[in-house]
Each structure stands twice: as C-alpha cells, then as structure tokens.
Amino acid sequence: MTGTEAVLADMRRQLRDGGLRGCLLVRDLRSGEEVGIEPDVALPAASLVKVPLALATAERVRRGELDGATALDVPPGRITTPGPTGLSRFRHPARIAIDDLLYLSTCVSDGSAADALFGLTPPARVTALLQECGVDGITVRHSVSELSDTPVERFDADGAHLAHALAIDSGTGGRGHRVPQLDTTRASTGTARSWVGLLQALWTPSPVHPEVAGRVRGLMAHNVLRHRLAPDFDSDAATWSSKTGTLLNLRHEIGVVEHADGQAFAVAALTESLVPAATQPGADALMAHVARTLRDHLRQL
C-alpha cells in the first residue's frame, strides 16, 4: 500500500467511525496534483449554489445586462426556524441594491437575498453561464426558498431528529430520495471534482473574466460562516476563502487556502451524516480534519 493509499484508507475509516459519508477533493492549483475520496459522486448542493449565482450575477453586471446599483424591493422572509440568516429572518420589506444582495447572498448565505438574485438570473441561466465559463458538472435547478420547505419545518425543535432520520433512511441506491431537496434528479447538484473545477476557474486563468473572478474571490474571502473548515485552514500564514452549504444531514464546504509561500489548494468537502441529530459540531470538526489531512499529504508530495 502506497503512502497515499494508506492516508485515504485511514481517512475513510475515520469518516465511517464518525458517522459521515464523505466526498472530498483537494487540488494543488499550481501543479494540478490532487487527492480525494469519492470525488465524482454527485450530491445536492444546498447553499453552495450561491457561488455559481454570484459568478452569474457578477458576469451579467460586467456585460451591462444588470446594474449593481439597481435597488430591488425584497419581501421579508419571516423564517423562525434555526439556520437561515439575514433578510430571510426580516419581518418587514427592504429595498436593497443588487451589489448588496450579492454580498448578503454569498458572505452571509442569505437565502432571501439569493432568491432576489435568482429572480433576475433564473437557475437555468446560471447553469448556462457556468458552462460558458468552462465549468461543467454543476447543475442549478431551483431557487433557495425551495430548500427551506423540508421535513424540519414540520417538527418543533424537539422533533428535529425525526426529520434527520427521514433524510438518512429515505434515499435510494440511485441517489433518489423521498425528500425532493435530497433527490439528485431534482435538486441542484455537483461533485467534489466539479466544485474544485469551479474554484480553479476562479483562482487561475480561465474563461471566467478576471474582473468577475476577482469579485467572487473577494466575496468568498469575506464569508462570515467560519465554523466548519476555517479553523483548520485559517492562520497568520494562510487565508481561507470559502462557502458553506447545509441542508438536513448534508454538511458541505468549498474553498481555497492560500499560503504565504505562494502555494494554493482548492478544497471541496461534501458530507452526509448518518447520525439523526441537527447539531453535530463533531461532524464539522471531523470533515475539517480529513480535508486538512488530505491537504497536508498533498503539500508534502
């Protein structure tokens, strides 16, 4: 068994013992070398779709199809269940510019802000613009509001574990699911490899316009949700730019760690928990540990 095979076997075991199914890929953006676990398995994207949405919106602003200063009237989300942020929890209407909605959607993961942007650039157009930029393997199929209508909303806080049990036990071998948001034939989807491909297109020369790539990188650098992979990648000698995605038993994060010595690694960590519980800080810590171990191994090659 080679050193890489041994590392991968150990990481698979740790994920399994920790109650996680993991699909991960880490790629050296300078050399192209990569290491991963099930990187070609498609999983529902959850809020990761806000990165393609940001790219599509920024590209349309660059083309002059949209004006970032245009203000939109956004209805209040009035969501009271745990999780959603920003306008999604507002009680009253707000008038906000496209540029500021882009910030709220990407950096705060505000679903209502994202849906206001999807109203300008529908999911099918976002997917088409991704393909124009040479990014394949990511399909955007629906707005963010559809993500909030899950079994979690049918139970009170004491019954959240029932919704997670349904999410864990109701899938099929072909990635279908009784919960539509978890059905890969109906949900927005991507693989760890496709998300890393998007990151590479944003961080290295690609068909993505440099102005657009720079803007999306800046948004991801200011992501305020830093409880998942950031503790294992952020330091005084490295910066971590990222986007999280969370839905029922899904915990995802994609990002790029840039080191002071010039090295940069794209990371995609997509996971499904097999534990029926809403709050699992141990799962976040485990997926971060596995992602960092893969990065450390790749850095030493």
- Tell me the two tokens of residue 7: 């590392």
Q: Examine the pLDDT at 5 and tell me if it is beyond 90.
A: yes
- Tell me the two tokens of residue 234: 């952020």
Total H helices, total E strands in the chain: 10, 9
Q: Examine the pLDDT at 202 and tell me if it is beyond 70.
A: yes
Q: Examine the pLDDT at 162 and tell me if it is beyond 50.
A: no
Q: Examine the pLDDT at 19 and tell me if it is beyond 90.
A: yes
The tens digit of pLDDT for each residue in 264-301 reads 999 999 999 888 777 889 999 999 999 999 999 999 88
Rounded Cα distance between 59 and 39, Å, is 28
Range of lowest pLDDT (22-31, 71-80, 96-105, 173-182): 173-182
Q: Examine the pLDDT at 137 and tell me if it is beyond 50.
A: yes
Output the CA angle 267-128-43, nearest 5 degrees.
40
Model pTM above 0.85: yes
Rg of the chain over CA atoms, in angstroms? Answer: 19
Q: Specify the pLDDT at position 168.
A: 53
CB 270 within 8 A of CB 252: yes
CB 274 within 8 A of CB 168: yes
Instruction: Name the residue with higher pLDDT: 162 or 57.
Output: 57
Q: Examine the pLDDT at 176 and tell me if it is beyond 80.
A: no
For all residues of the chain together, what is the average pLDDT? Answer: 89
Q: Examine the pLDDT at 1 and tell me if it is beyond 80.
A: no
Neighbours of 84 (CB within 10 A): 19
The contacts of residue 10 (CB under 8 Å, 6+ apart) are none
CB 216 within 8 A of CB 210: no
